[in-house]
Amino acid sequence: MRSLIRLVLRHPRAVTAVWLAILMAAAPFALRLGGALGGSAAEVTGSPSELVSRDVNAKFGDGEAFALPATVSASATPVTDPAFRAAVATLERALLDSAGVRVVRHYWNTGDSTLLGRDGRSALLQIIPPAATFFEAESSVGRIREAAASAPLSAGWDMNLTGSIALFYDLNANSADDLIRAEKIGIPLVLLVLLIVFGAPLAAALPLAIALGTSVVALAMLYALSRAMPVSVFAQNAVTMVGLGVGVDYALFLVSRWREELAKGATVKDAAETATMRAGHVVLVSGLAVCTGFLALFLVRITFLHTLALGGVAVVVTSVLMTVTLLPAALLLLGEKVNWPRQPRLRRAETHSRWARWARETMAHPWRYLVPSLLIVGIFVAPTLRLKAWNIGPHDVSEEMESRQGYDLLVRNFSAGRMAPIALLVDARPGESLVRAGNRIALESVTARLGADPRITVARLAGLSADQGTAVITLVSRAAPESREVMDLVRELRTAPWPELRAAGMRARVGGTTAAVMDFDAELFGSLQRVVPLVLVITFIVLAVAFRSVFVPLKAILLNLVSVLAAYGFLVYVFQDGIGAGFINLVPPGGLNSFIVLMLFTILFGLSMDYEVFLLGRIKEEYDRSGDNQGSVVSGLAQTGGLITSAALIMVVLFASFGFTRLTATREFGLGLAFAVALDATLIRVVLVPILMGLMGRANWWWPRWRLRRS
């Protein structure tokens, strides 16, 4: 690294020019990302629901597994009026011709009276897009809406494309707006904190500029990935949050160290070299930890998480590179101007600072502080044992969105289950036909029995494959697809014995959105068993090599896990139990989103390393110099305590700004990150770390030394 830093400092103008060129080239693509987002949800490859979708499309044609419901309503025309039928025919032609949909089904071409609304002035269309995957179906929503809007209808007619697929499409638009809203709140507050920390406009602006530049490059990379893979709106939000957070933190560490070296009397160039070497080591180790969390997402069988992982790695790598190249070059070019108007001064002697006194106090009376700290941590960790899954539904998008308006019409005039009916795929024995007497009777018996279930409003044989070996029974539930009632129903259907079918040698499989959501949750929660051990092992190896210690990485891993579990517990209190929800104008959904649970672990585990590595880096410097464990802990905390607090405040401000947006999942993510960082930088790093390191003494730095025997 030293060679790279010296090369940068020999050619600061060239380095700055290269980065400016990269940023100028990346900016237009970053701005286009919003129009390329999709894939907010996806089926799990190889899951039961995904196999059902694949077979439905194979047997009945592409898109049959992803039917999109659309409500057509008239202000003054009843469905019995020929004008209503004519209006539906006009929409049908527009959708077939302009949107390229395969089929549009409605009452007038199917005779299905359940497609007519209870108010007598509305009807339901079932639109089959030319889509082989959920992502392709989601991508067709915009074209369908444009085609419907261009249909030559007179005033008083309204069509709302809705359903779970359209809901996720609208979720992208809502989330993009939330991102802009959060940035408008968070970025000015971050700048204010930096101004307070440095007392110098340029010194405050540099970390923010690095963070924004990092985000621009990473979002441009996500846009490039979107050409080949689905990029979700959560990828955009996560990459932006992490980019701003680590970008500011890494740059803050380096600028602070540079100002410290200047205050000791070093030249601008020497201060830049020393600061980049020392802070660069911390940044590199921390960056590796964050990248490990993102790369672990490749263990999950969900494609859009893989693009999120690549975007996360891109933002962290870019942040590290900009911090150790562009930032020292800028410091060298700007020189002392960075410190105007408040020049840095040497801090009070470390042994007399508040942080030094605090470190000595905690190590002198460890149990006095350890027991209350563990009790506080326990209060927040305990609720994780009763964590419940919650899934996104229509109430999580704005009432202005078309899918939400369509959902409200479905509830009033049809049923909430029309958002995404359950698909029961029935297969005959190989080579047999379902129209054979015994098979047909069994099929009709199952359909009738399901139709009598009070949780189901419609049970209908929807189609028979061309080879007559497969049938689809459509089940429309009374409740919404994401509700626990419908999930319990799907669970029952999956475990049902189906005696009528079994007697005829047939089998039944369950698909549809609710089944896909259940498989999605199972994959995400189940993947923690693979993701967590991998992240722990790799993080241990990185820290062990960096600090040549066994206990230090073990302690870091344990405390990071505590931070993550405490964040889960905090979210359970707020989003599941509703404690304090009224203060942030939140209607608690009653659980945590499985995606948020996984992402909090993978991101938080790495972010927590920022402060751990920064603190331990200073402690290790002092220990290598003096060999005094207690003195090195005191000195390390004295030098970094204030900076860790400032850096944490910046992250908390950024993440908390996402906690006051409209989407519940984004709020869970932002507030979970903010709470964990706040806890980590206070109770964990400045209380538990010095206590534990004081108790362990020289054992902190034990490192095995293997000697080869000579023959």
Structure tokens at 235: 């990828």
Which of 341, 375, 395 is where one domain is finished? 341
Q: What is the pLDDT of residues 418-427, one digit of tens each?
A: 999 999 999 9
Round to whole Å and give the CA distance between 335 and 268: 6
Cβ-based burial of 184 (10 A; exposed 0-12, middle 13-18, buried ≥19): exposed
Please name every residue paired with 251 in a beta bridge, in sequence order, or none if there are none: none
Angle at 487 between CA 530 and CA 527, to 5 degrees: 5
For residue 323, the Cα-to-chain-centroid distance in whole angstroms is 25
Handedness of CA 310, 313, 317, 319 (dihedral sign): positive
Residue 172 has a pLDDT of: 76
Q: Please give the Cα distance from 458 to 450 (Å, whole number).
A: 9
In this prediction, residues 471-485 reach a mean pLDDT of 94
Distance (Å, whole) CA 139 – CA 154: 28
- Residue 360 and residue 223 share a domain: no
Q: Are strands 470-477 and 422-427 parallel, antiparallel or unpaired?
A: antiparallel
CATH code of 223's domain:
1.20.1640.10
Q: Which residues contact 479 (CB under 8 A, 6 or more apart)?
A: 416, 417, 455, 485, 486
pLDDT of residue 378: 96
- Residue 135 pLDDT: 84
Residue 246 sits in the same domain as residue 362: no
The set of residues, in sequence order, having a beta carbon less than 8 Å from that of 152 and lying 6+ positions away, is 90
Count of beta carbons in the 10 Å neighbourhood of residue 503: 10
Distance CA 617, CA 635 (A): 11
Percent of the chain's residues with pLDDT above 90: 60
Beta-carbon count within 10 A of 21 CB: 10
Same domain, 283 and 370: no
Q: Which of 113-117, 172-176, 273-277, 522-526 has the lowest mean pLDDT?
A: 172-176
Which residue in this structure is represented by tokens 């011709």?
Answer: 97
Quote the CA–CA distance of 421 and 54 in Å, as a whole number: 16
Query: What number is the average pLDDT over the span 58-72?
Result: 95
What integer pLDDT is reported at residue 507 of this predicted model? 94
pLDDT at residue number 177:
74
In a domain, 511, yes or no: no
Between CA 686 and CA 209 the distance in angstroms is: 29
Residue environment code for 553-568, b if the CB has 16+ CB neighbours within 10 A, otherwise e: bebbbebbbbbbbbbb
Whether residue 221 is found in the same domain as residue 297 = yes
| Placement of tokens 């009777």 in the chain | 441
Report if residue 520 sits inside a domain.
Answer: no
Q: Domain containing 208: what range?
A: 1-36+200-341
- Structure tokens belonging to residue 346: 């040497």
| β-strand partners of 422 | 475
Q: Cβ neighbours of residue 473 under 8 Å, at least 6 residues apart?
A: 423, 424, 426, 443, 446, 447, 450, 459, 460, 461, 462
Task: Examine the domain organization and report whether 601 and 672 are in the same domain.
Answer: yes
Residue 346 above 60 pLDDT?
no
* pLDDT band at residue 443 using 50, 70 and 90 as cut-offs: very high
**pLDDT (mean) for 24-42:** 82
CA distances from 323 to 190, 331, 631 (A): 18, 11, 30
Final residue of a structural domain among 321, 341, 361: 341
Q: In the prediction, which pLDDT does 347 show?
A: 55
Q: Is residue 519 part of a domain?
A: no
314 and 245 share a domain? yes
312 falls in which pLDDT band (50, 70, 90)? Answer: very high
Q: What is the torsional sign of CA 266, 269, 274, 280?
A: positive
Q: Tell me the per-residue pLDDT of 521-564, one tens digit each, with 9 for 90 and over.
A: 999 999 999 999 999 998 899 888 888 899 989 998 899 899 99
The counts of H helices and E strands in the chain are 25, 8
Strand ranges inside 470-517, DSSP E = 470-477, 507-511
What percentage of the chain reaches a pLDDT higher than 70? 97
What are 456-465's pLDDT values in tens digits?
Answer: 999 999 989 9
Report the side by side order of strands in the sheet with 122-128: 103-105, 122-128, 68-74, 157-161
Q: Are residues 586 and 699 part of one domain? A: yes
207-227 pLDDT per residue, tens: 999 999 999 999 999 999 988
Q: What are phi and psi of 61, to 5 degrees?
A: 110, 150
Please report, for residues 101, 148, 391, 505, 629, the alpha-carbon distance to residue 94 in angstroms, rounded to integers and kept in the order given.
10, 6, 34, 44, 76
Q: Within a domain: residue 682? A: yes
Contacts of 375 (CB under 8 A, 6+ apart): none
pLDDT at 203 over 70: yes
Return the closest-CA partner of residue 200 out of 336, 43, 388, 351. 336
Check whether the bond before 341 is cis (ω within 30° of 0): yes
- Region 518-523: mean pLDDT is 93
| 556 and 595, same domain (yes or no) | yes
Alpha carbon distance 119, 123 (integer Å): 9
Give the model's confidence band at 231: pLDDT under 50 very low, under 70 low, under 90 confident, else very high: confident
**Could you say which of 307, 341, 375 is where a domain stops?**
341
User: 543, 553 in Cβ contact below 8 A?
Assistant: yes
Does 361 lie in the same domain as 289?
no
Residues 88/108, Cβ–Cβ less than 8 Å: yes
Give domain status of residue 322, yes or no: yes
CA distance 518 to 510: 11
Give tens-digit pLDDT for 480-503. Answer: 999 999 999 999 999 999 999 999
Same domain, 572 and 620: yes
pLDDT the model gives residue 711: 42
C-alpha dihedral (258, 263, 268, 273), degrees to nearest 10: -40
In a domain, 566, yes or no: yes
Residues 605 and 679 in one domain: yes
Same domain, 315 and 271: yes
Domain count, the chain: 2
- Distance (Å, rounded) from C-alpha 688 to C-alpha 682? 9
- Distance between CA atoms of residues 402 and 662, nearest Å: 16
**692 domain residue, yes or no:** yes
Residue 355, by phi and psi: left (phi above 0), alpha (psi -120 to 50) or beta? Answer: alpha
Q: Are 446 and 501 in contact (CB under 8 A)?
A: yes
67 lies in some domain = no
